[in-house]
Structures are given as structure tokens and as C-alpha cells.
Structure 1
Amino acid sequence: MTAVDKNTGAEKDLAPEARRRPRWGLRVLLGLLVLLVVAGIALFVAVQHRLDQRSRGEGVVQAPSEFAALENSTGRTGAFTASIDFTSMATGAETISTEVAWDDEWFFQDPTVYNHELATTCSVLSAVANSESAYYQAGSSSPAYMEQALAELGFEEISTASYQYRSEIFDEVVDFITGTDDVVAYSVATKRVTSASGAEKTLFLVSIRGSYGSEWLSDLNMGSAATYDMEEITHEGFSEAAREIVDELAARITEEAGLDGTEDICLLFTGHSRGAATANIAAAYADEMSQGLRVLAPLSSIYCYTFATPTVTTFDTAHDALYDNIFNVMNPSDLVPRLPLTSWGYERYGHDLWLPGYGDEGFDEAHEAMCEVFEANTGVESPYVPEDRERVDKLVEDLGREIPTADDLATVKGGATVVKDLIADVNPMQVLYGHYPSVYIAWMQSLDTLG
């Protein structure tokens, strides 16, 4: 190959390096393109294979089943205490234990009256829902925490089928690619409870896992009322998950009740974070259904206790008496319950109950007692910083002023504002400590009541 010398006009040979450079550059680009195409094809094939496995119930720790008898169930009824194992984000994968109270009599009492003992037990069961995920990962030696916990509490049957394809990293990738991440993992368990007077009910416990993997994206899927030609909306990502749970409950309860009706059916919903939001909506759906023809349970037998609960709906009926059986427990230093912003019109169904917060009267003594319980449960000191309440308050105020509506959040400016304010107002990792389930458990166990 030759080139023309600008000075002499004569042709000259290019150096071998100059001749090779364009060819090697082209080869590298072509190679990268081929690799991308091959990787894309491989990913497509892998996703299709996984979807095919899901359709046939294969490729999981055990074949999904709707309900199965709980092995080693104690069958206990009445009032008792039990030791429950779970894991804490403060200690990693290490198993920790705590004592919980149980009393069948709770489910013959008015669900609109706050029951601190029941709420405290629910705070533990909502943490167990998070711990359960590890059992459903291939090669894991983690125990089935939820099955063990509910067996200790005397439950008879359980379904954890939703964990099967929602606990592996690749399944989270599949959900993201296929746009099916508006899901959640949950357990549904049953127990026959008996009152002191001899009355009986069949209790359905629904304990819902918090955000996991690609489900975090669903937390941002608030939806738009305009899409449905409505003025108000319930958070789309949370409500999709809640509808799945309610549909499963409806099918199971229909099978359980048969022709006898649902008068002796009792429901208990609980969860933390995303699980709390889903439980909040699912309980609200159950409340609404109690007023119609498709009754899951009488309104007088529906209970709900949620923890670190995001706001979920813009409907102005969220605090109607119909939802008085729903109690949401939040830590003032936790950012999650402050989102989506109330200034955008978002609320929670039922009653909001706030744990002691920095600056409240008597907080120092209450916090000291909470820290003692936290260390007794986990073996480590509580990492959460109560003073974060002031930083969270400032962040919420700044976001509300700079992002006036939920629609503004979806803009480039809105996203940039969130990032800017987060960096300026809080330490994202530090503020997460106040969201830990084990922090909520320690607060609940150290207090006599709330509200």
C-alpha cells in the first residue's frame, strides 16, 4: 500500500504498523460486536429456558406447592411463648433468636383496638419473612425460617410457593427483563385457634417479604391516575403484589370454607417495608371485600400490623372507619415511611403509629432500653442513629418544595433533584440502619404500648 509524499509528490510505502492498525481496530470492533450478539442470544435462550422451567415447576429447591402440612408443628393452642429464629441485617447471615408471645384469644378480640403483644409478634414474623429467602437459593444450607417459626407457633399448613422463583439472582434478572417485577414473596399459613369460651376460627396468617432484588424497581412504580382515567390511585407496584396475594387467599379460603361460608375465617396480615406496603393494601382489599359478595372474612376478624410502611394511596378514604383494623408502625428516623411524599397526596390505609423519636420527651431513656434489647437479640450494638430524624425531616421538606408533584419526579430534573438532596441531606447507608427489621423488633419489645 502506498501514499503520496506532500513535498515531492512521489509515492512511498506505508510502514507495516500503519497498514495493520486499521485492520486490527476493525477486527476488535467486529469481535466486540460478535461477543455482544452472542451474549444477547445466550441471555435470550437462558431467559426462555427459565420461563419454561417456571411453567413446569422445575429448577427450584423443591417443586412449588400451594399448601403443605407443616412438619414438626407443635400444634400448640391457647397462650404460650415460643423461641423464633431469624437473621438480622446487622449481623449478616448469622441466625439469631428471640422470644415471642402467642395467644389464640387475640383473634376473638376487636381488631380495631391496638394489641401491642400481637403487634410485637408480628414485627418478628415480618423479619422472618425476609430471612426465608436464603432457603430457596440453590446450594444454600440456610434453614426454612418461616416454616420453623410457624411450626413453633402451632400452625398446621403453609404455602411459600412464591419464594421459589423470587429468591435467585437470575430470577430477578428474568423479572427485570420481562417486566414482571411487580411481585413479592410471601407465606400463607393456617391454624385453628380456640377462645377461652370454646369458640373456634381458622386463622390465615400472611407474612410478606420486604424489597428484594429487582422488586426495588417496583417500589418506584407508583403508576399514574391519568392512565386509568381516575383522579386518585393506589401505588401500582404495591397493589399488583397485593392483588396476587388476595387472589390466592380467595382460592384457598373458598376451598377451606366450602359451602359453610367464611364466618369462622380470620385473617392476619403483616410485613416490613415493601412487605408492609403490600400487607397494608391487601388488608384494605380484604376490608372492602367484607362489604360485598366475595367475602374473605368478616370485618371483625381481619387484623393487620405493618412496619416501616411506605405511603401507598392517594384515595382520601384511606382513614375511613372501614380500615380501622390496620396499624402501621414507623420509626421517625426511617426514610422509607416518608415515601412517596405526603405532599404528593399519598397516605397509608388505617392508623399510623410512630415509635419514639429523637427530640421526643423521654426519648433518651426509651432509646437506652431499646439498645439493650437490640444487643440482647443480635449480640451487637444498635447501629441506627436517632438524630437522623432531623436529616430525614430536612430531606422530605426539600424534596416536597423542589418536586411539587409525583409527575415531576419522573422528569430528568426531578431525578437529579433527588440525587442532589440525598447527597446533601443524609448519609444513605447510615439512614438505612433505622429501617432494619431488628431495630423495629427491639423498639417493640422494649415498649409497653404505642399510640
Structure 2
Amino acid sequence: MLRLPHRRRGRRGRARGALLVLLVTVALADSATLAGAAVLHARHLERVSGTNAVTAPSVTSERRTGAFTATIDYASLFSAEGHQVSSKVAWDDDWFFQDPTSYNHELAHACAVLSAVANAESAYYQQGSTSPAYAEHAFAELGFEEVSTTSYRYRSEVVDEVLGLLDGTDVVAYTVATKHVRSSVTGEERLLTVVVVRGSYGSEWLSNAKIEDASDEAGSGDHLGFTLAAEEIVADLEARAAETDPGVGRAYLFCGHSRGAAVATLLASYADGAVGPSGTRADAIASADSVCAYGLATPNCTSATDARTARYDNIFNVLNPSDVVTMLPPAAWGYGRYGRDVWLPQTGDDALSDAMRASYEASMGVECPVRAEDRAQAEGLVKDVTAAVGSLEELFSPGGLLAFAQACVSADVPQLLASHYPNSYIAWLDAAVPEDLAIS
């Protein structure tokens, strides 16, 4: 199992923790908030005892093999009121016997939809919700035999978000689905494991600020918050691998959007030979016969100097050039991504952009909010940030956070994030063909 070295929980982490304790102490000063503290304590006890959480769903799936098309249903925060989103995806079991270093546009689209489903799954795990178990139904449509979303338990309620804020837990919610696939060419059989990591949810946003300093790299140089989340998934995969038939070949697909994309690409990097947080590779992933990763809206997540080498060519980061999240943490601070970047077209007033907007409106029921000028605004914000704060160390200096806040104060955040949300990516992948994309 991967173990996090003690050194990573350093001076800055303790300083932030002390500040958080102080703020919480002040917040608990009145009786109303003390009552809230009692609720949080009760929820903590429920977590420990495993009680009072929504039960994981049970969904029956039909065995589907080979190549087919499926309709995947899910919910999206910015769709029309009461509007359920549906996307058609292509699927082919043969993909997992092909060269994982060749970009697969249909697989990228399927991963974009599954990543949106991962966000929608959270609603099922909220008490009293009537939301369907979107992830289980999605994988049932794709013919998967087993689906697990148990990590969403105690990680989808508002009270759980508050607890995560207070205890600093870098939790992660994710779906693990398995299916036996067979090559139509050779007859070879493999056990396919798909891991879809949920994007930032509630207090998990704080994990995005736990950045490993590129200047004091002693190990992998990976983003600390994303690494902690990946560590939990690796432990789960190790346990699952120990229970499977070692004589059956294994294939892994990792995907996610935003924070989920960063974690997914780190998982794939471990399989490709990157040094994990324990200083070793992860056995469960390293034993795979085939590994690929498709991250959507992947932020910069590593300062590893070899992250762009051919070793990681099975990792694809699908990026919107107008998406500010893909520009953070800034490259000027020494950060980048594992694998290769697949650039979607630039939003403009051309026919391809019109097709993207039409796809967005058809699925979401509302007009696409993305604008042609979004890229210039996103790049301008990052330029202002790096001009005000020259490095990660400077960010955590006494005046660094103030300078950072001042650089961001005039940003139109809702508009900047329009190019970041999952359905903007899905619409672009619907409208574009591989020839419209640039891979670097």
C-alpha cells in the first residue's frame, strides 16, 4: 500500500491547520453554532460506526459485449430546471487490446460523459434524495458486471463537507466498475477495471490548494492534495487486485474531470513507473497489461521533470484552451501535467463553434454560456497572478495571499468557469473530430 511520507505534512500544513483551528474556535463562540458542533460530532460517530448513511444501490445490468452505442443519463447543475441530460456514447471492448498511446476520440468522449456522471452520483447519497444512482445505471448500460460507489457514503452530504473542512481530510469519491472483455481479433480475455474520479465537491476544493512545492522536490513533486486522494484509491485497487484471479490479464482505465482528472492521471503515472508517495510503484496498478487515462480539464498537478516523456504517452489530458483551471497552478511556478495534452478548438464565431453551442443547448436545454473572449480573460488572470506572485513559496509568504487575492479581485469567476464545466467539454467532443484537435 502506498504510504505518505511524514515530510509532506510540513510547516505550511501545520500553519494552515493552526489557523483553521483558530477560525473554528471563533465560529463556535455562540450557542447556535455549538448546536451545530454537536451535529458534526454525531456525524463523526456515524462515520466511525458506519451507520445512518444511504445504502449503496443495486442495479441489474445486461451482458453487453463488443461494439455498441449506449445512452447515458445524468444530471447537470447548469441545465434547464428539471432537465435530465442524456448523451449517446460509443463503446468497444476491443479498445482495451489496442495501443493505449494512440488517442481514441470515442473513448475520450465516453470518459467525458462518465466523468459528468461521477459528479451527478453525489445526489443519490444525500438523505431523502430521489435522484437515481446515475453511475450504476450508466455502467449497466455499458454491460459492466460489478459497480461500486461506496466511497460516496459520508462524502456527499453538507454535514460531510463541513467535517472535511474541519478535519482537513483529503477524501475522494470515485466509481470502480469491472467487466470481462474479449478481443474480437485474438480471443484474449482481460478484466477491465474503470475508475472514474469525482471532481471537486464541497470542501474538497480546499485540497486543490495543497500544492507540493516544486523547489523543494524530494520525491515525485506531485501536487500534495491530489496525491493524498490518489493514495486512497490505490489502496482500494490493491485490495481488489488481491481478490481477483491472477491468471486473467488486467486492463485499467482512469478518468475524471478537473480534480478528478488530476487524480486519474496520477494513478496512471504510477502504473507507468512514476515514483508514488511511498517511493515505490503501486502493485495493483503495476500488474496491469494495459493502462490508459483520459483526464478532462486537467489542472497542472506535478513538477516532475520527466512528466512529458514518452513513458507517459498513455495519458491524455483533454483541454479547453479557454479553461482557466487547466492553467493552474501556473506553469511559471514549475507545474505541468503527466502525458500529452489534447487541445479542443478555440471558441469563436466559426461553424465548428456553432456546432458545439448547438450540441450544448440540445443536451442542456439552455444556451451555451461560453464566449469567444473567454480565453483572453483566462490568460490575463493567470498573467496577473504570476506577476503578483512569482512562486509557490511567495504565495504562502505574509503578503503573498493578499497579492493573489488582489490579482483575482476583478475576475468574472462564473464566466471564467463556463469553459471549465463538464458539458462544455462534452459539447466540444460531440462537435469536433480528431482532425480538429491538436496533440502536444
Indicate whether the TM-score tops 0.5: yes
After the TM superposition, which residues 77-116 of structure 1 pair with which residues of structure 2 at under 5 Å, given as runs? 77-91=65-79, 94-116=83-105
Letter in 1 for 2:358: E
Letter in 2 for 1:435: H
After the TM superposition, which residues 116-195 of structure 1 pair with which residues of structure 2 at under 5 Å, given as runs? 116-180=105-169, 182-195=170-183
The equivalent position to 1:405 in structure 2, one of 391, 397, 402, is 391
The equivalent position to 2:371 in structure 1, one of 372, 377, 385, is 385
Letter in 1 for 2:225: G
Counterparts of 2:87 and 2:32 in 1: how far apart (Å)? Answer: 47
How far has the Cα of 1:275 moved from its partner?
A: 0.6
Contact 1:312 1:346 in 2 (8 A): yes
The Cα offsets for residues 14-68 of structure 1, whole Å up to 9 and x where unpaired, read as: xxxxxxxxxxxxxxxxxxx9x9364565444433322221122111111x6xxx8
Counterparts of 1:347 and 1:365 in 2: how far apart (Å)? Answer: 32
Q: Secondary structure at 1:256's aligned position in 2?
A: coil
The equivalent position to 1:239 in structure 2, one of 219, 227, 250, is 227
After the TM superposition, which residues 247-266 of structure 1 pair with which residues of structure 2 at under 5 Å, given as runs? 247-257=235-245, 259-260=246-247, 264-266=249-251
Structure 1 partner of 2:256:
271
Contact 2:252 2:288 in 1 (8 A): no
Structure 1 gaps, min length 5: 1-32
Structure 1 partner of 2:317:
328
Q: Which moved more, 1:189-198 or 1:434-443?
A: 189-198
Alpha-carbon spacing, 1:162–1:439, altered in 2? closer, same or farther (3 Å): same
Structure 1 partner of 2:354:
368
Q: Which moved more, 1:82-91 or 1:309-318?
A: 82-91
Counterparts of 1:81 and 1:343 in 2: how far apart (Å)? Answer: 43
Report the count of equivalent residues: 404
Provide the TM-score with structure 2 as the length reference: 0.86
Contact 1:80 1:102 in 2 (8 A): yes
Contact 1:188 1:204 in 2 (8 A): yes
Counterparts of 2:372 and 2:223 in 1: how far apart (Å)? Answer: 29
How far has the Cα of 1:213 moved from its partner?
A: 0.6
The Cα offsets for residues 77-119 of structure 1, whole Å up to 9 and x where unpaired, read as: 0000011001223216631111110000100100001000111
Q: Secondary structure at 2:176's aligned position in 1?
A: strand
Alpha-carbon spacing, 1:440–1:52, altered in 2? closer, same or farther (3 Å): same
Alpha-carbon spacing, 1:111–1:86, altered in 2? closer, same or farther (3 Å): same
Counterparts of 1:140 and 1:344 in 2: how far apart (Å)? Answer: 43
Cα RMSD, aligned residues only: 2.3
The equivalent position to 2:42 in structure 1, one of 29, 39, 49, is 49
Structure 2 gaps, min length 5: 1-25
Q: Secondary structure at 1:356's aligned position in 2?
A: coil
Alpha-carbon spacing, 1:239–1:232, altered in 2? closer, same or farther (3 Å): closer
- Verify: 1:440 aligned to 2:425, yes or no: yes
After the TM superposition, which residues 180-219 of structure 1 pair with which residues of structure 2 at under 5 Å, given as runs? 180=169, 182-197=170-185, 198-219=187-208
Q: Which moved more, 1:350-359 or 1:195-204?
A: 350-359
Counterparts of 1:179 and 1:278 in 2: how far apart (Å)? Answer: 18
Letter in 2 for 1:436: Y
Contact 1:110 1:300 in 2 (8 A): no
Greater Rg by CA? 1
Structure 1 partner of 2:404:
418
* Identical columns (%): 48
How far has the Cα of 1:322 moved from its partner?
A: 1.7
Q: Which moved more, 1:279-288 or 1:160-169?
A: 279-288
Alpha-carbon spacing, 1:207–1:406, altered in 2? closer, same or farther (3 Å): same
Letter in 1 for 2:39: A
Letter in 1 for 2:325: V
Counterparts of 1:210 and 1:319 in 2: how far apart (Å)? Answer: 23
Counterparts of 1:380 and 1:173 in 2: how far apart (Å)? Answer: 32
How far has the Cα of 1:386 moved from its partner?
A: 2.7
Contact 1:287 1:299 in 2 (8 A): no
The equivalent position to 1:296 in structure 2, one of 271, 277, 285, is 285
How far has the Cα of 1:287 moved from its partner?
A: 2.0
The Cα offsets for residues 408-440 of structure 1, whole Å up to 9 and x where unpaired, read as: 11234322222222233x311111111110010
Contact 1:309 1:336 in 2 (8 A): yes
Structure 1 partner of 2:12:
none
Contact 2:249 2:289 in 1 (8 A): no
Q: Which moved more, 1:281-290 or 1:108-117?
A: 281-290
